[in-house]
Amino acid sequence: MLSILEITTTMLWAVAITAAPETPPIPECRPDQLLGYVPSDDEVASHREGSIPPVEYDRGDGPGHLWGFEMALRINANGNVDCYRLVNDFGKKAPLNRQRRNWLEKLADVRYRPFADGRSAAAIVTENVREVERVESTASPVDVPLDQFVIGLERTACFGSCPSYTVEIRGDGSVTYKGRAFVDVEGEHRYRIPTAEVARLVESMHTKNIWSSKTEYIAPITDNPSQTVTIKAGERSHRIHDYVGEMVGMPVAISEFEREIDAAAKTDRWIRLSVETVDLLDQEGFDFASPEGTALLWRSVAEREGDSDKAVLRLLQRGARDDGKPSQGAWRQRTGTLLDIALENGKAETADALIANGALETRGQIDRAKVDAAFRAAIKGARLASVQRVWSAANAATPSLEFDDEDESGKQTAKRVPVTLLLEKPYGAAKWEGLKIAQWLAAQGCDLHAAAANGDTLLHRAAGAGDVAFVRYLLEEGADASTPGKYGLPALGGAANEDVAMLLLDAGSDLSKLSDHESSFREYATSRHWSRVVAWLDEHKQ
């Protein structure tokens, strides 16, 4: 029989064990531990071994208003996680609840192939972590013949250029696609896919327990596209409305199923024009010389993403007309001719075909205004070969090396500036030959140090593009790292990566122009995990 003392001691020990906070096996990072080499998103994806698992919650037991968080990880030389930091959408430390603590135990199993950059013992990786609500198997199994299934997906537009279309797949393999807006191919198109593809979709639906999911996952935000999955199985049906569902606990499996529907229906060939798409339209009897064919041509040329150059050439060969404005669907169209848009969007083969067909001429003679417009568009498109092609095609009508620049804010008056200032890397562009074009234009007599109407110089553009070689070239050519640009900031204020920032610091950029009452450049560098910049600032007591 236990004594009172023994009972009391046992109870206190049990209370202590129950009340003691759980300690994750991986510690939280100190601020100084989150400084190191920062690999690109592509590097992170190629070095990650496996995937980052989501945090799971029982139905009705979520984390709060919005789900998910950002996680910064310090990865050591062996590819293991040393420590972590969780941050919410507002940049604040995300609190640990029971589910997140349990999930953190899995961090010990997360590995990356070592990031060997030769400069830092650690890499700082940022990952987005999904938080999801578990799906309970509440629905009875769906057991009907394959030919009684109909699986549909609708994607709507957004405050931007999100593709809007519907696709419906039937069990017999028949597919109906309807393109509405922000897609290259609009209208209704019918075709077939192998029934084995439909069977795989149905099997995936069962495996992912889609039939038991909730019918709505709607985030309390605006201006985003929505996705709606509809499944009909005989007399039964299930509908899932996904409006940024990942922010309110929608299972990853639903996002995967949406992508599987697209893949089975091959919707990508309608959203972004391909040679295969043109051949399919030809088989349908599509009239390429019609106003609809003209609209398709303009939409496809105006598409910056993807590689539709050869497909556009196929459209021209099939009779699509380029001698007028489209009557509909020109939502991507910028001002200018079809040639200008092709050049600006990097479609060199299309541009060559249009030039060969007289796109730079008026009544058989080279038109100086068309040449200047095409030359400027080619520089914006940042393909040196296209710039040189327009230059040589102009013959005696040499393109102007200057243009009238206007400040988009309207606060500054227009000014005559060199065409080099048309070089500005588009967001997400994979190919950009800014340095080569600047060097070629400099050889033609362009001033590399002029300022645009808003104050930016070519150095600002190169720094914002994260182009280390371009920044180095301009500095070697005498560019002043402290020259104020837009908002009075030097190029350092828009540095896209640490290598560029270090070049500008070593070149003597004036840091006093970067500080204000709320933040400093050091705080900015720390938030970007730039170890070398922070060390430089500490050494120079900034």
Express each pLDDT in 188-229 by its tens digit: 999 999 999 999 999 999 999 999 999 999 999 999 999 999
pLDDT band at 305 (very low <50, low <70, confident <90, very high): low
Is pLDDT above 70 for 23? Answer: no
pLDDT at 134: 92
How is 117-176 classified by DSSP, letter by letter? -SS-S-EEEEEEE-EEEPPP--SPP----GGGEEEEEEE---SS---EEEEEEETTSEEE
How is 454-494 classified by DSSP, letter by letter? TS-BHHHHHHHTT-HHHHHHHHHTT--TT---GGG--GGGG
The pTM assigned to this predicted structure is 0.86
From the list 169, 194, 195, the residue with the least C-alpha distance to 265 is 169
pLDDT at 442: 97
Cα 452 to Cα 458: distance, rounded to the nearest angstrom: 9
Give SS3 for 283.
helix
Q: Stretch 390-401: mean pLDDT, rounded?
A: 93
Express each pLDDT in 470-529 by its tens digit: 999 999 999 999 999 988 899 999 998 999 999 999 999 998 888 664 458 888 899 899
What percent of the chain lies above the pLDDT cut of 90? 73
pLDDT at 324: 57
Express each pLDDT in 248-261 by its tens digit: 999 999 999 999 99
pLDDT band at 38 (very low <50, low <70, confident <90, very high): very high
Do residues 301 and 354 make contact, with C-beta atoms less than 8 angstroms apart?
no
Parse the chain into domains and list their residue ranges: 24-132, 146-271, 273-331, 332-539
Q: Stretch 391-414: mean pLDDT, rounded?
A: 84
CB within 8 A of 441, min separation 6: which ones? 379, 387, 401, 418, 419, 420
What are phi and psi for residue 237, nearest 5 degrees? -150, 155
pLDDT at 118: 57
**Averaged confidence pLDDT in the chain:** 88
From the list 358, 288, 297, 304, the residue with the least C-alpha distance to 326 is 297
Is pLDDT above 90 for 335? Answer: no
Express each pLDDT in 369-390 by its tens digit: 999 999 999 999 999 999 999 9
Do the domains spanning 146-271 and 332-539 agree at the CATH topology level?
no
Do residues 403 and 453 make contact, with C-beta atoms less than 8 angstroms apart?
no
Which CATH code for domain 146-271?
3.30.1560
Find the radius of gyration of the CA atoms of the chain: 29
Rounded to 10 deg, the angle between the 468-476 and 498-506 helix axes is 10
Residue 152 bridge partners (DSSP): 168, 230
pLDDT at 71: 94
Residue 15 has a CB neighbour count (10 Å cut-off) of 10
pLDDT at 427: 78
Express each pLDDT in 258-298 by its tens digit: 999 999 999 999 999 999 999 999 999 999 999 999 999 99
How is 386-420 classified by DSSP, letter by letter? HHHHHHHHTTTSPPPSEEEE--TTSSS--EEEEGG
CB within 8 A of 306, min separation 6: which ones? 272, 273
Cα 10 to Cα 448: distance, rounded to the nearest angstrom: 79
What are phi and psi for residue 334, nearest 5 degrees? -95, 175
Residue 56 bridge partners (DSSP): 132
Is pLDDT above 50 for 2? Answer: no
The architecture in CATH of the region 332-539 reads: Alpha Horseshoe (1.25)
